[in-house]
Amino acid sequence: MAVGEEGIEKCLKIAHGLPEWFNKAGLRVMERELREEKTFLAVEGDGLLGFVTIKPLNEKALEILWIAVRRELRGKGIGTKLLEFVEGWAKDRGFELLVVKSSGDLTYKPYDETREFYERRGFARIALIDPYPEWGEPALIYVKALNTTK
């Protein structure tokens, strides 16, 4: 679903609260992709806890473009729930692979937690591209095969 203006503002507010992970250039791309691509929200009451934005790369592979959880709520399982939701959604639609790009600067500590998050949830590193042309900085490419029964 496109999340609407109010949803976009709330997602951006979460991302603004995580400056170690999302810089100005990233936030600009995020804003555009929140408008153009599909985003799922984790909500409780009126509050937004986190979000995940996805985009099909082709009919078999789905990319996670952005995932973020409100700073003070990190580490409580919300990101895992968002990921599990995307996995179910993707499998139901015949996708076989999840793809995600993360920072490939292995000396930058904040992304240690992010890499740990993906790796403990079954993502495998397949390439480190340095520099990744669109970013001008290194990117680590992760994939996760979805267990499909075909």
Please give the residues from 47 up to 86 whose contact with ligand COA meets the rule CB under 6 A.
Answer: 66-69, 74-80
Q: Which CB sits closer to ligand COA, 56 or 122?
A: 122
Q: How far is the CB of 68 from ligand COA (least distance, A)?
A: 4
Give yes or no for residue 116 binding ligand COA (CB under 6 A). yes
Residue nearest to ligand COA (CB): 79
Q: How far apart are CA 57 and CA 72, in angstroms?
A: 32
Question: What burial letters (b/e) apply to 92-131, b meaning 16+ CB within 10 Å?
Answer: eeebebbbbbbbbeeeeeebeebbebbeeeebeeeeeeee
In 3-123, the DSSP E strands lie at: 38-44, 47-56, 61-69, 97-103
Q: Which CB sits closer to ligand COA, 29 or 97?
A: 29
Q: Which CB sits closer to ligand COA, 17 or 94?
A: 17
Sheet holding 97-103, edge to edge: 38-44, 47-56, 61-69, 97-103, 137-145, 124-132
Tell me the window of 54-62, 85-93, 114-122, 128-136 that interacts with ligand COA (CB under 6 A): 114-122
For residue 73, the 8-state DSSP code is G
Q: How far is the CB of 150 from ligand COA (least distance, A)?
A: 29
Give yes or no for residue 113 binding ligand COA (CB under 6 A). yes
Which positions lie near ligand COA, rule CB under 6 A?
18, 21, 66-69, 74-80, 102, 113-114, 116-117, 120
